[in-house]
Amino acid sequence: MMTRHSPTMLAMPLNETKRKSLAVTIAKSRELTLFIVLLVLIGVTAAAKPDFLNLQNLCDVLLNVSIIGLLTAGMTIVMLMRHIDLSVASAVGSLFVLFPQMPVIVAMLAGIGIGLAIGALNGVLVSFGRVPSLVATLSTLYIVRGADYAWVHGGQINATSLPDAFAFITTGSLLGVPNLVLIALVVLIALSVYLKQYRDGREHYAIGSNPEAARLAGISVDKRVMIGFLLSGAIAGLAGVLWLARFGTVDASTAKGIELQVVAAVVGSVVITGGVGTVMGATLGTLVLGVINIALVVLRVSPFWQQAIQGALLVAAITLDTLLARSVARRMMRKRDHG
Confidence of residue 37 (pLDDT cuts 50, 70, 90): confident
Residue 72: closest CA among 196, 167, 192: 192
Angle between helices 164-171 and 179-197 (to 10 degrees): 70
Confidence of residue 4 (pLDDT cuts 50, 70, 90): very low
pLDDT of amino acid 120: 94
Task: List pLDDT tens digits, range 158-185.
Answer: 656 666 677 777 777 787 788 888 999 9
CA distance 268 to 265: 6
Confidence of residue 98 (pLDDT cuts 50, 70, 90): low
Span 31-37, average pLDDT: 82
CB–CB of 144/87 below 8 Å? yes
CA distance 62 to 324: 32
Residue 195: closest CA among 287, 81, 58, 47: 81
Task: List pLDDT tens digits, range 226-254.
Answer: 999 999 999 988 888 888 778 777 666 66
Name the more confident of 22 and 191.
Answer: 191
Q: Which helix (H) or strand (E) holds 125?
A: helix 104-127
| Cα–Cα separations (whole angstroms), residue 3 to 6, 10, 11, 12 | 10, 13, 16, 17
pLDDT of amino acid 7: 43
Rg (CA), the chain: 22
